[in-house]
Chain A
Amino acid sequence: MASISIEKVTKIYPNGFEAIHELDLDVADGEFMVLVGPSGCGKTTALRMVAGLEDITGGTLRIGDRIVNDVSSKDRDIAMVFQNYALYPHMTVAENIGFALKLRKIPKAEIKKKVEDAAAILGLTEWLDRKPGQLSGGQRQRVAMGRAIVREPSVFLMDEPLSNLDAKLRVQMRAEVARIQRRLNVATLYVTHDQVEAMTMGDRVAVMRAGLLQQCDKPQVLYDHPVNLFVAGFMGSPAMNLFDATLGEGAATALVGSQKLELPSSLHAIRPALKSYANRPVIIGIRPEDLPVAGDEPAAIDEAVYFEGDVELVEALGSELLVHFTTDAHRVEAEGAKDADSEGLSAGALTKGGEGVARVEPRSQLVVGRRVRFRIDPARFHFFDPASGLSITS
Chain B
Amino acid sequence: MATAELVHEPRARSMAEGSPGPIGRDPNTRHFARVGWGFSSPAFGVIAAFTIFPIIFAVVLSFQNVNVTGSGFGLQGFTTANYHAMLTAGLWHHALWFTTIYTVVTVACELVLGTVFALVLERLTKGRGMMMALLLIPWSLITVISAELWSYIYNPTYGVLGEIWHVITGASPPNLLGYPLDATIALMFADIWKTTPFVAIIVLAGLVMIPTELFEAAEVDGATGWKTFWKVTVPLLRPTIGIAVLFRVLQAFGLFDLPYVLTGGGPGTSTQSLAMLGYNTMFTDINFGPGAAVAVSTAVIVLVMCLVFLRAFKQQVGKETISA
Query: Chain A residues in contact with chain B, CB under 8 A?
Result: 51-53, 72-75, 78-80, 82, 84-90, 99-100, 103-104, 132-133, 137, 140, 147, 151, 164
Judging by beta carbons under 8 Å apart, are A82 and B223 in contact?
A: no
Contact (A99, B221) CB under 8 Å given A89-B236, A137-B1: yes
A86-B216 contact, Cβ under 8 Å, with A132-B323, A133-B323, A137-B1: yes
Q: Determine if B222 and A100 form an interchain contact, defined as CB atoms under 8 angstroms apart.
A: yes
Do B213 and A74 have beta carbons less than 8 Å apart? no
Q: A84-B2, A86-B211 are in contact. Are A73 and B220 (CB under 8 A)?
A: yes
Which of A52, A53, A79 has most chain B Cβ within 10 Å?
A53
Q: A132-B323, A164-B1 are in contact. Are A88 and B219 (CB under 8 A)?
A: no
Q: Which residues of B contact A52 (CB under 8 A)?
A: 219-220
On whether the beta carbons of B221 and A87 are closer than 8 Å, the reply is no
Instruction: A73 to B222: give the CA distance in the assembly, Å.
Output: 8
The residue in chain A whose Cβ has the minimal distance to the Cβ of B210 is A89
B1, B219, B220 pick with most chain A CB within 10 angstroms: B220
Interface residue ranges of B225-251 to A (CB < 8 Å)? 227, 231-232, 235-236, 238
| Shortest beta-carbon distance from B240 to chain A in Å | 13
CB pair A82–B321 under 8 Å, yes or no, is no
Complex formed: what's the CA distance from A85 to B220 in Å? 13
B residues apposed to A, CB below 8 Å: 1-2, 211, 213-214, 216-224, 227, 231-232, 235-236, 238, 320-324
- Closest residue of A by beta carbon distance from B234: A90
Residues of A within 8 A of B222 (CB): 74-75, 100, 103-104
Q: How long is the Cα–Cα vector from A53 to B218 in the complex, in angstroms?
A: 11
Q: How many residue pairs, one in A and one in B, have C-beta atoms under 8 Å apart? A: 77
Nearest to B223 among chain A residues (CB) is A103
Bound CA–CA A80/B218 (angstroms): 10
From residue B9, how far is it (CB to closest CB) to chain A in Å?
A: 12
Neighbouring A residues of B227 by C-beta, 8 Å:
103
Determine how close the nearest CB of chain B comes to the CB of A22; give it in whole angstroms. Answer: 25
B324 and A80 contacting across the interface, CB-CB below 8 Å: no
Contacts of A78 in B (CB 8 A): 220
Are B323 and A147 touching (Cβ within 8 A)?
no
Q: What is the minimal beta-carbon distance from B140 to any residue of chain A, in angstroms?
A: 34
10 intermolecular pairs with C-beta atoms under 8 Å apart: A74-B219, A74-B220, A79-B220, A84-B324, A89-B320, A89-B322, A103-B222, A103-B223, A132-B324, A133-B321
Pick the contact of B217: A80, A90, A164 (CB < 8 A). Answer: A80
Tell me the minimal C-beta distance from A97 to chain B in angstroms.
10
Q: A82-B216, A84-B2 are in contact. Are A74 and B224 (CB under 8 A)?
A: yes
CB distance from A162 to the nearest CB of B (A): 14
Chain B proximity of A303: nearest CB distance (Å): 55
* Shortest Cβ-Cβ A-B pairs, 4 listed: A86-B213, A100-B221, A86-B217, A90-B235
Which listed residue, B1, B219, B320, touches A90 by the CB 8 Å rule? B320
Given contacts A74-B220, A74-B223, A104-B222, contact A86 B235 (CB under 8 A): no
Q: What are the residues of chain B within 8 A of A72 when measuring CB–CB?
A: 219
Other CB < 8 Å A-B pairs besides A86-B213, A89-B320, A147-B221, 20 of them? A51-B216, A51-B220, A73-B216, A73-B219, A74-B220, A74-B223, A74-B224, A78-B220, A79-B220, A84-B324, A85-B324, A86-B211, A88-B232, A89-B236, A99-B221, A99-B223, A103-B222, A103-B223, A103-B227, A151-B221
B321 touches A89 (CB 8 A): yes
How far apart sit A88 and B235, CA to CA, in the bound complex (Å)?
10
* B322 close to A88 (CB less than 8 A): no
- Which residues on A sit within 8 Å (CB–CB) of B214? 86, 88
Closest B residue, CB atoms, query A99: B221
Tell me, in angstroms, the Cα distance from A87 to B2 when the chains sit together.
11
CA distance A321 to B265 in the complex (A): 91
- In contact, A88 and B220 (Cβ under 8 angstroms): no
Q: How far is the CA of A74 from the CA of B221 in the complex (A)?
A: 6
| Best-buried of A74, A79, A80, A100 by chain B (most CB within 10 Å) | A74
Give the Cβ gap from B238 to chain A, nearest Cβ, in Å.
Answer: 8
Q: Which residues of B contact A133 (CB under 8 A)?
A: 321, 323
